Amino acid sequence: MSIMEQPVAIITGASRGIGQATAEELAGWGWRLVLVARTAERLQEIAEQTQGLALAADITRPDEVQEIVRKTLGQFGRIDALVNCAGVAPALMIEQTTIEDWHQVIDTNLSAVFYLCKAVWEAFKRQQCGVIVNLSSLAARDPFPGFMAYGSAKAGLHILGLCLARQGQEHGIRVHTLALGAVETEMFRMLMTPGQFPASQTLAPDEVAKTIAACVSGELRYTSGEVIYLHKTV
């Protein structure tokens, strides 16, 4: 396979956790990567490890999302997959949740995904192929206390994924939604200590990354539009 035939993936939240693990997994499969996060220094380290293109950006801003897609197409001429790993998950009861908190959670976990999907959609239609993987959570159906905004955003992803999968089917576009249980990441450990939620009950980021790779490779192509629940049972 020539370098121009190697598929290209945009991964958000790529500087740590599941995003980093996904970058490492797809790099091993020979994918060319565009890695997106807000923290430029850490992102550059991951880009060097995976030979990817690092783009520091705020994906809650539609203009910066458009610039990500423009630079990707300018560099590589194609986009084969979009993996939406970026997210925020503050634990706030309704009395503690400000209007700003609500917008931050909805904008990062739901609106930004819409912006990114919309931005790559025309390229996918021209190619008559493309894959989107959105990371949701069990919080969409059974949230921890304080996950009102987070659970609402993730529930919205389920409907967004289904609608896009139906619309994209005629153009060869697949959309997969992974609803994850607890994953051993920095974000999760800011919410729960090992004493509150043992590591033996969490998924490893690389386990999630392997499922993402199965989605983008086509191994799970018949799950487009569905919600795939991924969690440890104890």
pTM of the model: 0.94
Q: Does residue 211 sit in helix, strand or coil?
A: helix
Q: In the numeric block, which tokens belong to residue 112?
A: 């930004």
pLDDT at site 93 = 96
Q: In the numeric block, which tokens belong to residue 42?
A: 């850490």
Long-range CB contacts (within 8 A, 24+) of 50-54: 50/23, 50/24, 50/26, 51/27, 52/14, 52/23, 52/27
pLDDT at site 234 = 58
* Residues 168 and 124 sit within 8 Å (Cβ to Cβ): yes
The residue range of the domain holding 133 is: 3-230
Task: Give the active site residues.
Answer: 150
* Residues 94 and 145 sit within 8 Å (Cβ to Cβ): no
**Alpha carbon 10 to chain centroid, angstroms:** 9
Q: For helices 17-28 and 40-50, what crossing angle results, to 10°? A: 20
pLDDT at site 189 = 78
Q: Rounding to the nearest 10 degrees, give the CA dihedral for residues 25, 116, 46, 184.
A: -60
The CATH number of residue 146's host domain is 3.40.50.720
Looking at the structure of the chain, the number of domains it has is 1
Divide the 234 residues of the chain into consecutive groups of 10 and give the mean pLDDT of each group: 78 96 97 95 94 97 98 97 96 96 98 98 98 96 92 98 98 98 80 80 92 97 96 74
Q: E strands, 66-204, where?
A: 81-84, 130-137, 173-180
Nearest-angstrom CA–CA distance, 31 and 15 = 17
pLDDT at site 195 = 79
pLDDT at site 1 = 52
